[in-house]
Amino acid sequence: MGQYYIFVDIDTMQGLHNEYTGVKLMEITPNGWSYFMRLVCSLMSPNGPWYRHRVVLAGDYYNETDNHEMDYYNDSTRVTFPRVVALETHEHHYYFINHIKKCYVSLTFEGDDQLHPLPLLLALGNGRGGGDYYGPQMDLIGSWAGDLVSVEKTIPNGYQPLDVSFREIIN
């Protein structure tokens, strides 16, 4: 059986609810800029409601074995954000910024097999269900979950790049 995920702003306990809510991790992380990823990034951009908030991509199996205090998947309030417009990515280059670790990831994509890093860096519960990520740099999966994050057009002074290249391994 598969594990399903939802983006949650843990500062407001709002969970993004739309037609992509409750999908498997590898269904959220296609290469390039899907409409859904442009919408998620817009929520975390300077004009978005989740700008510089603590955001996670919560799996529904995350709390089952670890006895965490909060079950982000089930305890968040589902919100649709009808007024948020998806980012226009053909005009600008964007960076996913971690304000706790003082680092960033470039949101550019090279090759058809490169996965979008944002959901993978925020994922809680990877490895517990079908449709989860198994590939290079698994130690980075979820490493930004709960940190203050944003999506920006410029890199803050003094922040260092994090080299990620998540790729799906096809057997």
Q: What is the pLDDT of residues 40-82, one digit of tens each?
A: 888 999 999 999 999 999 888 776 555 556 677 777 777 777 6
Residue 167 resides in a domain? no
Closest CA to 40 of 93, 96, 90, 1: 96
Has residue 89 got a pLDDT over 90?
Answer: no
pLDDT band at 170 (very low <50, low <70, confident <90, very high): low
Residue 168 resides in a domain? no
- On whether the CB atoms of residues 108 and 92 are closer than 8 A, the answer is no
Domain count for the chain? 1
Residue 166 resides in a domain? no
Residue with tokens 């260092």: 160
Residue at 98: amino acid letter: N
Task: Indicate whether this model's pTM tops 0.85.
Answer: yes
Q: Looking at residue 157, what is its pLDDT?
A: 98
Residue 11 resides in a domain? yes
Residue 169 resides in a domain? no
Q: What is the CA radius of gyration of the chain?
A: 15
| Enclosing domain of residue 70 | 5-161
